[in-house]
Amino acid sequence: MTNANRHDIQVLNGLIRTTIDSADGYREAATETSDDGHRDLFTRRDVERRSVAEELGTSVRSLGGEPDAEGSILAKAQRAFMDVKHALLRDELSVVGALESTEDHVQAHFEKALEDSHISATTRETIRRAWDKVRDGHDQMRDLKHSLEGQKDANNRLFPQ
């Protein structure tokens, strides 16, 4: 790895870890949900995120680096916390809320990487293409969370009928 590529590799590896964290969250959510439609959605997002991580890994290799293969320890701790919360609340909103929170984190990482003035134009384009694939998941989890919140409000006995 050349010094010229070191920063690009570090940024890409950070995005790989973040993307793997997202995939792991979706995989776990797919096992915790009781809704078949959500399970299918979460499984598709898991596969999609792993594909994006692989594509970013290919770019790291082309720059002479070794791609990260695991997510972050912090994300594992967050998922453990969410497991406890979900076990206590036992509702879809807690699962989707955890995913949406992770997606906000993913969005922040991709936006920061795209704004990095020290990465090469080629790496920026790689990141932009990856973000284009990931962005839909972020928006979809936000919309799903709001939909579930609306359903919860509508089921409240104080909600006007």
Is residue 18 within 8 A of residue 70, CB to CB? The reply is no
- Count up the domains in the chain and report the number: 1
Global pTM reads 0.81
For 112-141, what is each residue's pLDDT tens digit? 999 999 999 999 999 999 999 999 877 888
Distances (CA, A) of 122 to 19, 60, 118, 127, 134: 19, 12, 12, 9, 19
- Range of 136's domain? 3-155
For 61-77, what is each residue's pLDDT tens digit? 999 999 987 655 554 54
Q: Quick one: angle between helices 3-32 and 121-155, nearest 10?
A: 20
Residue 161 domain-assigned (yes or no): no
List the CATH number of the domain containing 13: 1.20.1260.10
* Residue that has been written with the tokens 């990260």 in this structure: 68
